[in-house]
Each structure stands twice: as structure tokens, then as C-alpha cells.
A = this chain, B = another copy of it.
Amino acid sequence: MPGPDPLLAESLGKIARDIDSMFDALLPNASDNRSVLGQAMRHAAIGGGKRLRPLLLTATAAMYGADRTHALRAAVAIEAVHVYSLVHDDLPCMDDDDLRHGKPTVHKAFGEAMAVLVGDALQAFAFELLADPATSGDPFVRAELVQVLATAAGGGGMVGGQVLDIMGEGQALSLPEITRLQQLKTGALLGAAVEMGAVLGKVPSEGRTHLRGYARDIGLAFQIADDLLDHEGDADKAGKALRKDAEAGKQTFVALLGPERAREQAQMLMDQAIAHLAAHGQEADVLRALAHYVVERDH
């Protein structure tokens, strides 16, 4: 499979560097016994991940001319929520993973209690960041950023999807059920990334319909591609153990559709996502390239 196109490769590299340096600048740096918390939060947050949510957020914000520093702060916040969810997901009582982004998981490196607290602190950090006037001088924007992220992160979004995931283990889920599960578990936060970019760009809610459609389609395409990579991929490139879902008795798109139809479905969703951007010119090129990338990436 091909790598990302040059525009996207540049955007992915830039956002990865920006997010790493902002995490390092913004995460707590206590000099007392709490220093281990800052270290463990940095271990979890810095130097790993594709930073898809930050790129979605900043690319959408840029389409509408929002300030990049503001967008980067919001991007750090949504990535902090994503990272906290991985830290808690990796816990022994959840997926019990030892490796994440090629490094020991937080509970392996710092112990389980610290991993619980790192996740909790990262979630609070996200909302602290969004509510800070440095993220936007407009309190309407700050409050709406918090509302969008909190709604997508909680029981009606990402955590709700994780609950469906746990409750569905060993059950024969239907295609609509697995679609709903994934729309909550990963789709909600990907959708929030685009929505938060639009909030920063002061796009009114009724002007975001096409962006929501785009986000919904790439969210599902992303998950199908993930299942395909889990089925066929390379654990070294992924930096984590693969085929754990099947072993845990979890239903996947590949198990339900077979790899061929799953791949067709992902392609179809990619085309559909790009079609939602038809009214935009080249300012939407990063989002278009991202739609290709989520389906065509090799890790």
C-alpha cells in the first residue's frame, strides 16, 4: 500500500512535532513527589500515535482561518482524551496490553495505580486546557469546545462505546450493532475533532452538517481499516500486539464481512467522505488526503 501523499506526509510530520512539544510544555512539571505523575503523563502522551485527531482538528480550523496556536491547544486537549483512553484500555482489568507505540504501557512502566491516575489527570488536563482563555479569547468558543469534547468522551460517546465493547465480548453482534459500537468508541472522538475545528473557525452549528458527514464516514472507514490491519498487519509496524480482538471473542468488521467486502466498504466510505467536501476548494485538500490515508495506511 502507498504511503501518504506529500502534502499529508508534511502535515502529519508537522502536527506530530507540534503536539509533542506542546504536551511537553503544558503537562505538569512538579518538583516534589508528584514529579512521577508528570513523567508518566509524558511517557503516555509524547512520541507515539499518528495524531489523527489533532490533524483533523487543526486542518478543519485552518479551513476556516482560525488561529493555529488556538487550534493546537484544542488539539492537545482532544489528544489527551484519546491518550487517557488508551492508558485505561491497556490496564490488566481491560485489554491487558504490555506494549503501546512500541513502548511499555503506562501500568507496565509505572504500576497500575499510577496508570489509573495518569488517565484521570489527562482527562482533567484536557478540559483545563480548553477552558483557559489562552485557547480562545471568546468564552462562547471555550465553553462549546468543552461541551463538544465532554459529550464525545463520556457515556454517550467514547466510554459508551467501550461499554458496548465489553458487554459484546463473546456475543454475536450484528453489522448495525458493531457499527454503532465503533461509531461511539472511535467515531465520537474523530467527529469531535472536526467539530472542534469548526467551533474554533466560528462555523455555526447548522453549517457543520457536511463536516459531520465527513467525520462519520472516515471514522467508520478508519475502524474497518484498523480491523483489516489487525487481521493482516505487522505487529512491529503497529507497535502493539495484534489479533487480540479475535482472541477476546470480539466481533470485527472483517469477521462479519470477510476481508474483501470489508476493504470495499472502507473504499466506499472514503469516497463518500470526500464527496461531503465537494463545496470546498483546495483548502480542504488535507482532509481529502486524510480520508485516503485512514483507509490506505499500513499501520
Contact = CB atoms under 8 A, between A and B. Distances in A.
Interface in A11-41: 27-28, 30, 32-34, 36-38, 41
Interface of A is mostly: helix
- Residue from A93, A133, A143, A156 whose CB has the most chain B CB atoms within 10 Å: A143
Given A33-B168, A164-B33, A91 B114 contact: no
Interface in A132-175: 132-133, 139-140, 142-144, 146-147, 149-151, 153-157, 159-160, 162-164, 166-168
A273 interface: no
Contacts of A167: 33-34, 36
A1 interface: no
A284 interface: no
Contact of A155 (B38, B113, B147, B180): B38
A120 B128 CA distance: 16
B163 A151 contact: no
Nearest to A40: B163
Contacts of A37: 155, 159-160, 163
A160 B166 CA distance: 30
Nearest to A125: B154
A112 B125 CA distance: 24
A86 to B, nearest CB: 12
Interface residues of A, number: 58
A268 interface: no
A94 interface: yes
A46 interface: no
A155 B125 contact: yes
Given A37-B163, A41-B155, A167-B33, A143 B139 contact: yes
A124 interface: yes
A54 interface: no
A123 interface: yes
Contact of A146 (B130, B151, B166): B130
Contact of A127 (B111, B112, B150): B150
B124 A28 contact: no
A37 B157 CA distance: 12
Interface of A: 27-28, 30, 32-34, 36-38, 41, 84-85, 88, 91, 93-94, 111-114, 116-117, 119-121, 123-125, 127-128, 130-133, 139-140, 142-144, 146-147, 149-151, 153-157, 159-160, 162-164, 166-168, 180
Given A34-B155, A93-B113, A139-B139, 15 more contacts: A28-B160, A30-B160, A37-B159, A94-B113, A114-B166, A117-B166, A119-B120, A120-B154, A120-B159, A124-B150, A127-B146, A128-B150, A130-B146, A139-B143, A142-B143
7 contacts: A33-B164, A33-B167, A114-B166, A120-B120, A125-B155, A128-B146, A131-B144
